[in-house]
Amino acid sequence: MTEVSASETLPASAVLVDAEEAARARAARIRRIARWTLPSLVMVATVLAWHLYVTLGEVPHYVLPGPTLVGAQLVEDWGLLWPAMLTTGRLTVLALLLAILGGVALAVAFTQSAWAEMSFFPYAVILQVTPVVAIAPLLQIYIDSAFVAALMCAWIVAFFPILSNTTIGLKSADHNLSDLFTIYGATRWQRLRYLSAPSALPFFLGGLKIAGGLALIGAVVAEFVIGRAGTGLGLAALLLESSYRFNFPRLYAALILISLMGVAIFAAMSLISHLALYKWHESALKRER
């Protein structure tokens, strides 16, 4: 009696479905691996090309320092770079927190009162479109603390995305559900808590991703402007000082740390967004499939 394989006993359609599922699983596995390996390979290739260009072209270090020299300078000046990075990081985090508190509070006020929106929203737009490099010197004149002046600059830059996105989100609740809340006599607080806030959460988190990067940009720009007065705030002021001294390895080291801070902030905001949405919101559910 001959043995019959499992594939021979199954209908052709079932075998085809199993083959398609295996192919999809294999493709998903390849995508998960490529998501990390491809950017890593690009980074390695970029650093290698940088090193070869500097070495083979005999480029002077005061024109373009090589990656090994920048790495050595990063280790050597770590005692100087680390406190500066902490200052820039503290500025960025505090500015982002203030932007969240102010933006969300004002967005709620706008959705609860049309008079409040008509009164204050134009001034929020003015703050957004006014270049922070023009505001920073004025804040430095009127505020004694250089750190507080830089904090205000970073807050101004990060504030508007939170306000705008949250306002749009609070107004985007399903009108059918809104009518249902009206029929059942829901209070303003109940409508805000159970209807508007969940609808606004994806919009708020989208604004949070933008505001995180803008808070760092605002902090760096403020440090550039205020650092010219010799206050020595953060990585940007250190970068500015290094350019004056033609210390390009230290300049590149400070620039790399600023970039790494931006990547870390974006990764943290993306993680927060994923954890808040992955169980219920369509945008996160699609990413999971």
Span 131-182, pLDDT tens digits: 888 888 888 888 888 888 889 989 999 999 999 999 999 988 888 888 888 8
User: At 227, is the pLDDT very low, low, confident or very high (cuts 50, 70, 90)?
Assistant: low
pLDDT tens readout for residues 232-279:
678 888 888 888 888 888 899 999 999 999 999 999 998 998 888 877
- Tell me the whole-structure pTM to 2 decimals: 0.82
Question: How high does pLDDT run on average in the chain?
Answer: 84
pLDDT tens readout for residues 42-57:
988 998 998 888 888 8
Residue 281 has pLDDT above 80, yes or no: no
User: At 231, is the pLDDT very low, low, confident or very high (cuts 50, 70, 90)?
Assistant: low
User: At 94, is the pLDDT very low, low, confident or very high (cuts 50, 70, 90)?
Assistant: very high
pLDDT tens readout for residues 190-220:
888 888 888 889 999 999 999 999 999 999 9
Q: What is the pLDDT of residue 243?
A: 83
**Mean local confidence (pLDDT), 60-87:** 88
Q: What is the pLDDT of residue 100?
A: 94
**Mean local confidence (pLDDT), 78-94:** 91
Residue 29 has pLDDT above 60, yes or no: yes
The dotted CATH code for 67-288 is 1.10.3720.10
Q: Cα separation of 138 and 130, whole Å?
A: 13
Q: What is the pLDDT of residue 187?
A: 85
User: At 14, is the pLDDT very low, low, confident or very high (cuts 50, 70, 90)?
Assistant: low
Domain boundaries, the chain: 6-56, 67-288
Question: For residue 174, with 0-12 CB atoms within 10 Å meaning exposed, 13-18 middle and 19 or more buried, which class applies?
Answer: exposed
Residue 4 has pLDDT above 60, yes or no: no
Query: Is residue 221 within 8 Å of residue 38, measured between CB atoms?
Result: no
CA distances 254 to 60, 66, 209, 262, Å, are 19, 15, 23, 13
CA distances 272 to 35, 36, 193, 212, 278, Å, are 20, 20, 20, 12, 10
Q: Cα separation of 220 and 224, whole Å?
A: 6
Q: What is the pLDDT of residue 205?
A: 92
